[in-house]
Amino acid sequence: MAGKIRKGGDFLIAETSCQDVFTPEDFSDEQRAFAETTEKFVTDEILPHFEEIENQEFSYVVEGMRKCGELGLLMMDAAEEDGGLELDKASSMLVGEKISTSGSFSVAFAAHTGIGTLPLIYYGTAQQKEKYLDKIISGEWCSAYCLTEPGSGSDALSAQTSAILSDDGSHYLLNGTKQYITNGGFAELFTIFAKIDKEHFTAFLVEKSFPGLIVGNEEKKMGIKGSSTTQIILDNCRVPVENVLGDIGKGHKIAFNVLNIGRFKLGAGVTGAAKMALGEGIRYANERKQFGQPISAFGAIQEKIADLSAAIYASESLVYRLAGLLDDKLATIEKGIPDYYEQYQKAIEEYAAECGISKVFCSDVLAKTVDEVVQIHGGYGFCSEYPAERYYRDERINRIFEGTNEINRLLITGMILRRSMKGELPLQSEAMKAFESLMTPSFEEIDTEIPFAAEKVTIGNLKTLFLILAGAGVQKFMEKLADEQEILMAAADIIIQIFAIESAVLRAEKISADLSPSRREQLAAAVKVFTFNATEEAARAARKAAYFVEEGDTLTMILSGVRRFTKYDAAGLLSAKRTLAKSAIDAEKYLF
């Protein structure tokens, strides 16, 4: 990939060349082969047993995981010396996107390959890996991750599960209850977090067979019904001291670093699900006739299809841009060095804000997609005979998984502000320049000869607007800004839309020259439709933030800036929507 190595969050203050972003059009033959293998696996091995899995006949899930192991789909993140493939993040995300069409099975897969396996890969000792890793990456055993408790969700460090060293020093005795454990019903290895002596937050590798581990009943869930979700009850569970994972008292590092990876992988998975749902909606719209013609002929339906197509294009562009950022950064770490995985985790953490953006934006796109697909189906979308109903139910968990979207919005803004306070991002000096521009009239004309010139100007303006609002917030609240959640949430919505629009534009700029005229027209239409919609979202968040942080004459001035910096020349928007909709309707699928 070999793009320019960028600092996390610097997209807010720096321009990015389209040649420095990774796009789906950059996939290698090997990556495409993995995608095809995954698609064939879902078609041949999972979909024929879809109903049984939905009815929680978990033997089909366990067997499916074994077959995933045989195909190499469980070992993509493990090091070669540990028997893995050690592939790049783009490959891992592509497999995650393709597996998403398997419904509930994809939840088991994602939990196993992500939070169920990565703690062992990143923090396990040689002895621990030798004992457990081959079983996990071969699919012989399924894995699970136990962090949440009945009384602690987002505040994970308030967990009450305890670990006390046995009198003979050979075991820890774990006591407590873990809640909402994916794969809980059939996992053989659990990564469980507990406090040693009720103080030192620590991770443990716990086998299902260890005395004192009790698997609770399956939760009755709204969606993803074919996934296993149980409590894990620990009643003086005996865990050998050699099964402490990582350093005592440093379990928070494992918990939070692994969640960063889970967030960007979830972004890929929900993007694949959105593509599938959109295709289902379009096919139904072509079949369903009212007033003597298919409902796909009506403008109201076409606008939905256009808006969803554009949003999914942006979602896909954002996900693989992030994959490129991660892979370029990880490629700078020398393999074989003693602290390789420590450096690896720091590289991932560099883009923690972008991982949060991926999780929030892409899951929100899926939510909008499945909602509109139900609407396209009308009353039939409310009936379980049609897949639209299941898509709608299954989607809802994605805005809760890997940290709620609210928590992630707070983290996005909080991480960027912390980077600024540490001097890693010069936001304060840039905010001062932005505020000066607020008081300087602009006579800038857009050069229409430059590809996507209007969109690029809009991106720059939105960055300026974010800096103005961030600067005003810091000036008013100083270090107490971290407690002003309403402001942080509004700022996050601006940040998210900036990254999404820029990702969509950079991808289009990079690939458009090689496309046919008709494909180029479709791409330009997607960019225009998405930029208009996203700019409107950013403007709404910016107005809200302005009222939160200012009053009087300063508020009036900032609101004037909001109007100025959220202007986007979307001339031809209706034509663009119709072009995009007609192309998607003809293809009966996501276009790009």
CA distance readout (Å), 523 to 81, 214, 455, 465, 518: 43, 53, 13, 27, 9
Quick check: 397 and 219 in contact, CB under 8 A? Answer: no
One-letter identity of residue 470? A
Quick check: 179 and 160 in contact, CB under 8 A? Answer: no
366's tokens: 């899926």
One-letter identity of residue 344? Y
HEC per residue, 434-477: HHHHHCCCCCCCCCCCCCCHHHHHHHHHHHHHHHHHHHHHHHHH
The torsion defined by the Cα of 291, 293, 296 and 300, in degrees rounded to 10, comes to -30
Core vs surface per residue 255-276: b (16+ CB within 10 A) or e? bbbbbbbbbbbbbbbbbbbbbb
Query: What is d(CA 403, CA 398) in angstroms, rounded to the nearest whole number?
Result: 9
Catalytic annotation, pick one of 354, 402, 502, 550: 402
216's tokens: 């609770």
Query: What is d(CA 493, CA 249) in angstroms, rounded to the nearest whole number?
Result: 35
Quick check: 213 and 206 in contact, CB under 8 A? Answer: yes
**Angle CA(6)–CA(9)–CA(14) in degrees, nearest 5?**
65
208's tokens: 């299902």
Within 10 angstroms of residue 569's Cβ, the number of other Cβ atoms is: 16
Beta-carbon-side half-sphere exposure of residue 70 (alpha carbons within 13 Å): 8
Query: What is d(CA 531, CA 454) in angstroms, rounded to the nearest whole number?
Result: 10
Closest by CA position to 183, among listed 134, 116, 121: 116
Closest by CA position to 140, among listed 149, 153, 131, 152: 131
Query: What is d(CA 110, CA 113) in angstroms, rounded to the nearest whole number?
Result: 5
Core vs surface per residue 387-401: b (16+ CB within 10 A) or e? bbbbbbebbbbbbeb
Query: What is d(CA 162, CA 420) in angstroms, rounded to the nearest whole number?
Result: 37
Handedness of CA 3, 95, 208, 176 (dihedral sign): positive
Task: Answer yes or no: 402 catalytic.
Answer: yes
Which residues are identified as catalytic?
402
